[in-house]
Amino acid sequence: MRMTRLVQSTAVYVVAFASLGLTGCGGGDGQSPPPTGSTPTPSSSPSPSPSPTPSPTPSPSNEPSLGGAQIGDKLVGPLACSDGAVTQSAEGFVTGLGTITKTKIDNQIEISFLAQDSFSTDVNGFGGSAWAAVDKRTPPNSVYVRYSNAQQGELLLSQQNQTFATQGLYNTSALCFFAVGLAPPSLPSGQVIDYFGIIDGFGVIGGQQKRLYESRVGLKMDFASGKGVLTADIEARANPFGDYADGTSTDVGTVTANVELVGGSANFSSVTFSGTGLSGQIVGRLVSNEKNVLGKGGAGAVFVFELTSSGGDVLYGAMALHANIM
């Protein structure tokens, strides 16, 4: 079933990744993940998410879709990375990835929209990179807008029209995927809301490197209890750093999580994410500052995840979702 110029030093990456398995760099809520198998059970559990609607159609404009952000705004959200050694072209974009032994999903990224084709990034408060029109390159396909150079690596920003959230790829010293949006000034209350979205990420599945493009995800969120059920149908495509969008997709399986907001905040706690022989963690937050019929904010949701199988498969990536509550 189908659902998808500040130079960052190596020291920043070391600080961000060296703590893997130890103290997290910040998952938004400051809580440690629960042990595997301790998925929270909602007291008033929403019914499973329905099958999401088809993913948005990429725009042919070669301009990023920024989740409602205007010049001067900052987009925030989680970042998922791995320790696989990155191979990159002379222009800085990713062409290959080495063996993955660890993934990390408690990073946070902030993207500042400075001007047309001008962005800066900050990872975990340690700073990041700056990108300008001179760094704009031909993208691998119509899914993303690409900014890259040999010194900094690569930033991919989605062209897909996700109104309240967006996602991308970030590589300076590690291959990372993110999902971001504008911080919400308030959240919906007392309502059950359906969110639908898409996934991008990377996987080593059956020993083959794959792109998790066009995997689909749905979230049924009960704001009265602050709990919800997230369901993702994972699909994989070959040629993960090329024109994977036109490749044939392979069904990997369905994974689910019982998610919960932390103390009435916009942040979701880290919880177990599992299904179809895969198990791992997922964490995220609500985004969007757009006014809607239930208040102002919360019409977008962003998550990152990591999954493994007993057979040695490794998957990680990011999800951007939106709800029709305008």
pLDDT of residue 103: 98
Q: Are 138 and 150 in contact (CB under 8 A)?
A: no
Q: What is the mean pLDDT of residues 45-56?
A: 45
pLDDT band at 295 (very low <50, low <70, confident <90, very high): low
pLDDT of residue 267: 97
Strand runs labelled E in 57-182: 74-82, 86-88, 94-97, 103-115, 118-123, 130-131, 136-137, 144-149, 153-158, 166-171, 175-180
Task: Specify the pLDDT at position 326.
Answer: 57
The whole-number pLDDT of residue 214 equals 83
pLDDT band at residue 7 using 50, 70 and 90 as cut-offs: very low
Question: What average pLDDT does this structure show over 40-52?
Answer: 44
In the predicted structure, residue 232 carries a pLDDT above the cut 50: yes
Both structure tokens of 170: 């970030």
How many Cα atoms occupy the beta-carbon half-sphere of 197 within 13 Å? 30
Percent of the chain with pLDDT over 70: 80
Mean pLDDT of 285-313: 89
pLDDT-based confidence at 251, cuts 50/70/90? very high
Q: What is the predicted pLDDT for the residue at 241?
A: 93
Confidence at residue 27, expressed as pLDDT on a 0 to 100 scale = 34
Contact 154, 174 (CB under 8 A): no
Inform me whether the pLDDT recorded for 279 exceeds 80.
yes
pLDDT for the residue numbered 38 = 38
pLDDT tens track for 171-227: 988 999 999 999 999 888 878 999 999 999 999 999 999 999 889 999 999 999 999
Is pLDDT at 259 greater than 60 in this prediction?
yes
pLDDT at 81: 98
274 pLDDT above the threshold of 80: yes
What's the pTM? Answer: 0.82
Residue type present at position 155 = L
* Predicted pLDDT of residue 245: 86
3-state secondary structure of 129: coil
Closest CA to 246 of 211, 270, 276, 216: 211
SS3 content of the chain, % helix, strand, coil (to 5): 5, 50, 45
Q: What is the mean pLDDT of the chain?
A: 83
Output the pLDDT for position 216: 94
For 253-257, what is the mean pLDDT?
98
Q: Tokens 């760094």 map to which residue? A: 135
